[in-house]
């Protein structure tokens, strides 16, 4: 397109008025009004003065509007012609812009197809849930200055990072591995997934420790209950043995107290008492004791123990 300059020749307009004379008159009148006293008697004159001043102000402003309108006539005509030119120029601009955008849209769609093919080729199916294309899509991938080689390298790097992250999660060998992988699948944040597993293992250890403590306390209660049962059983056994011993002793005493009443009545009287002596002596000494009791007329029966 040949270069055609838009040449404009502008003559600066000049507007003259008796500004100074009018200004001086208004200033003098203003000074007069500043020093003038307004009372009930002068109220009518004040209203008259106010009306005159407002009339004068309106006349000045109306003249301003008339002058501006007249002064702007050349510009208004100039602006209308300029707008006509702009409209004329806009027509090829719109056409070329449409063609450029159409071409750019076609280029972007072709690039998107290339990116999709590269994604399907580089990202294995088992990783596509972890790194969906819409999540990792680069803002500059469709720029004309971005090379497909760089995009393919970025996809390859993302696959390597994702595999490493998944292996790191699996290496922890946690029973919550699947949940952690699902977390990672949602946001590709390895630190968050590792923290989840670490927190879970800490919580699990605390629960296990608490359960072990509870189990130890339960076993201790059972042992104490068993020890108490054994103590009670031992006390019961001792009491039973003591009772048996008492009964045996009583039976023994009763047997010792038994005498041949038929034989004893020949040597006893109403004042006679039945007593038991336990004597430790030799056989000769026992013979002497028995002879002595016989000589005294005491009935006795020897019961060796």
Q: Is 274 left (phi over 0), alpha (psi -120 to 50) or beta?
A: beta
pLDDT tens sequence across 95-125: 889 999 999 999 999 999 999 999 999 999 9
If one compares 303 and 208, the residue with the highest pLDDT of the two is: 208
pLDDT tens sequence across 232-246: 999 999 999 888 888
pLDDT tens sequence across 255-284: 767 776 777 677 777 777 777 778 888 989
pLDDT at 6: 65
How far does CA 293 lie from the centroid of its chain? 105
Whether 156 and 88 share a structural domain = no
184-219 burial, b for 16+ CB within 10 Å, e for fewer? bbeebebeebbebbeebeeeeeeeeeeeeeeeeeee
Residues, the chain: 305
pLDDT at 264: 67
Whether 1 shows a pLDDT value over 60: the answer reads no
Whether 103 and 182 share a structural domain = no
pLDDT tens sequence across 130-149: 999 999 999 999 999 999 99
The answer to whether residue 153 is domain-embedded is: yes
Whether 103 and 163 share a structural domain = no
DSSP 161-189: HHHHHHHHHHHT--TTHHHHHHHHHHH--
pLDDT tens sequence across 76-102: 888 888 898 888 889 888 988 999 999
pLDDT at 147: 95
pLDDT at 153: 96
Whether 154 and 195 share a structural domain = yes
Helix, strand and coil content of the chain, in percent to the nearest 5, comes to 75, 0, 25
The answer to whether residue 184 is domain-embedded is: yes
Rounded to whole angstroms, how far apart are CA atoms 136 and 158? 9
DSSP 208-265: HHHHHHHHHHHHHHHHHHHHHHHHHHHHHHHHHHHHHHHHHHHHHHHHHH---HHHHT
The answer to whether residue 4 is domain-embedded is: no
Percent of the chain with pLDDT over 70: 93
Whether 148 and 190 share a structural domain = yes
Which domain-ending residue is among 181, 213, 245? 213
Whether 83 and 134 share a structural domain = no
Whether 104 and 130 share a structural domain = no
Whether 101 and 175 share a structural domain = no
Whether 31 and 75 share a structural domain = yes
pLDDT at 234: 92
How far does CA 291 lie from the centroid of its chain? 107
Handedness of CA 92, 94, 96, 99 (dihedral sign): negative
Whether 208 and 141 share a structural domain = yes
Whether 86 and 142 share a structural domain = no
pLDDT at 126: 93
Whether 305 shows a pLDDT value over 60: the answer reads yes
pLDDT tens sequence across 168-202: 999 989 899 999 999 999 999 999 999 999 998 88
The count of domains in the chain is 3
pLDDT at 60: 86
Whether 76 and 153 share a structural domain = no
Q: Which domain range does residue 91 map to?
A: 20-108
The answer to whether residue 177 is domain-embedded is: yes
**pTM for the complete prediction?**
0.48
Angle in degrees, CA 182, 176, 188, rounded to 5: 30
The answer to whether residue 237 is domain-embedded is: no
Show the DSSP H helices in 123-147 as ranges: 133-136
């Amino acid at each position: 397109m040949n270069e055609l300059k838009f040449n404009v020749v502008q003559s600066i307009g000049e507007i003259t008025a008796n500004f100074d004379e009018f200004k001086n008159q208004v200033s003098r009148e203003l000074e007069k009004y500043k020093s003038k006293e307004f009372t009930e008697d002068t109220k009518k004159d004040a209203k008259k003065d106010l009306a005159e001043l407002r009339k004068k102000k309106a006349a000045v402003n109306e003249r301003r509007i008339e002058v501006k309108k007249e002064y702007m006539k050349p510009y208004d005509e100039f602006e209308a012609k300029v707008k006509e030119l702009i409209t004329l120029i806009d027509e090829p601009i719109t056409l070329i812009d449409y063609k450029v955008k159409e071409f750019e849209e076609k280029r972007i769609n072709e690039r998107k197809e290339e990116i999709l093919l590269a994604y399907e080729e580089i990202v294995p199916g088992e990783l596509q849930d972890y790194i969906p294309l819409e999540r990792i899509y680069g803002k500059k991938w469709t720029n004309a200055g971005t090379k497909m080689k760089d995009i393919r390298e970025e996809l390859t790097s993302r696959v390597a990072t994702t595999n490493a992250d998944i292996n790191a999660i699996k290496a922890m060998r946690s029973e919550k591995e699947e949940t952690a992988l699902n977390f990672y699948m949602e946001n590709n944040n390895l630190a968050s997934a590792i923290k989840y597993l670490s927190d879970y293992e800490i919580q699990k250890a605390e629960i296990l420790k608490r359960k072990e403590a509870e189990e130890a306390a339960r076993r201790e209660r059972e042992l104490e209950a068993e020890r108490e049962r054994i103590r009670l059983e031992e006390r019961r056994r001792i009491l039973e043995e003591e009772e048996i011993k008492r009964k045996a002793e009583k039976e023994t005493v009763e047997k010792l107290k038994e005498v041949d009443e038929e034989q004893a009545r020949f040597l006893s009287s109403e004042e006679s008492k039945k007593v038991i002596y336990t004597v430790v002596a030799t056989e000769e000494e026992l013979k002497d004791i028995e002879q002595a009791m016989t000589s005294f007329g005491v009935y006795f029966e020897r019961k060796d123990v």
